[in-house]
Structure 1
Amino acid sequence: MPATPRTAAAPAARRRGTVARSVHDSLVVARRNLIRMLRIPEVVIFGLVQPVMFVVLFSYVFGGAIPVPGQDTADPVVYREYLMAGIFAQTVTFATAGAAAGIAEDMHKGLVDRFRSLPMSRGAVLTGRTLADLVQTALTVLVLVGCAVLVGWRIHDGFPRALAALGLLLLLGYAFSWIGALIGLSVRTPEAATSGGLVWLFPLTFVSNAFVPVGGMPGWLQTVAEWNPFSATVLACRQLFGNPEGTVSDAWPMQHPVLASVLWSVAILLVFRTLAVRKYRSAAV
Structure 2
Amino acid sequence: MRLVTYRSSVEAEARLGVLQGDLVVDVESLGEDLGLALPRSMLDLIDLGPVGLSRLAEALAGCDGRFAAGTAFPAVNVRLLAPIPRPRKNIFGIGLNYVEHVAESAQSLDTSKDLPKQPVIFSKPPTTVIGPGDAIEHNARITQQLDWEVELAVIIGATARRVSRERALDHVFGYSVMIDVSARDNRRAGQWIFSKGQDTYAPFGPCIVTADEIADPHGLDLWLTVNGVEKQRSNTRHMLFDVPTLISDISSGITLEPGDIIATGTPEGVGAGRTPQEWMWPGDVVEACVEGIGTIRHPVVAV
TM-score normalised to the size of structure 1? Answer: 0.28
Largest Rg, 1 or 2: 1
Structure with the largest fraction of helix: 1
TM-score normalised to the size of structure 2?
0.26
Higher strand share: 2
